[in-house]
Amino acid sequence: MTGSSHDHGLYARSFADVYDAWYEDLHDVAEIVAAFAQRCEAGASIIELGSGTGRLSTPLTHSGFTVTAIDSAVSMLAQDFSSSRKLAADMTRLPLADDSADAALIAYNTLFNLAGSDLQAVCVGEAARVLRPGGLLAIEAFIAPETDPETPFGVSVVPHHTHSDRRMAILTWHDPAEGEVITGAHVELGPEGVRTRPWQLVYRSPASIDELAAEAGFALTERHNDWAGTPFDPAGVRHVSWYQRA
């Protein structure tokens, strides 16, 4: 699966204008900061791949870490007002020296935004290249539920993120011919009309991410349901996995 038809800038174009407002409460950022503080020395250098608007790089920087925020979408980076070092770059071609960082972070499904399994492997390989021996890679991602093959994924209608008088229809579908590609759209339904925000992901299971990481020279050291360290449940909806470079 090369994902040659994947639109690399789709997510940023769809969500850059609402990302902070919609996802402000997506994480308990104090838990993420604490998770890195427990595993890294004070002032450690952390790279966030797919940093977006700085929702996570900002509190990490404020906590004393030396953060490099990397995102290919200039529209996202332009909204990051933290003091972190910001680089507009592709996650698969990091403009960083070998063995130059202590830890790397790929949060909230960001790995799946890459075009295909091959580029995901390249991204994790790049993380291994820029991390020092013993460096940590943290990957957060969802776990896809079992679905009826006759009606995979589907449509759900939920309250709008920020407007109580609107609704949001979330459409998701999966074509087996396209491998692990999941395509979807958030459709905003409101008095002023309809706004559609399309997106596309290339899914990997936790076991598949483990294989990809091992090929890059990482070993899985911890896996939890969340950043707080809740014991991992394979039937859960998310995982936070910690890998260490050999």
Hey, where are the domains in the chain?
A: 10-144+203-245, 154-201
* pLDDT score for 183: 83
The Cα angle at residue 157 between residues 239 and 10, in degrees rounded to 5: 65
Per-run averaged pLDDT (10 residues), the chain, 246 residues: 52 66 72 97 96 90 95 82 87 96 94 85 97 98 69 70 79 70 83 82 93 98 97 95 97
What are φ and ψ of residue 231, in 5° steps? Answer: -50, 140
Question: Do the strands 193-202 and 181-190 form a parallel or antiparallel pair, or are they unpaired?
Answer: antiparallel
CATH code: domain 154-201 is: 2.20.25.570
Q: Model-level pTM greater than 0.85?
A: no
* pLDDT score for 151: 46
Provide the strand spans (E) within 40-126.
45-49, 66-71, 85-88, 101-106
Distances from the Cα of 230 to the Cαs of 4, 36, 72, 226, in angstroms?
A: 37, 15, 32, 6
CB atoms within 10 A of CB 219: 12
Q: Does domain 10-144+203-245 have CATH number 3.40.50.150?
A: yes
* pLDDT score for 172: 83
* pLDDT score for 3: 39
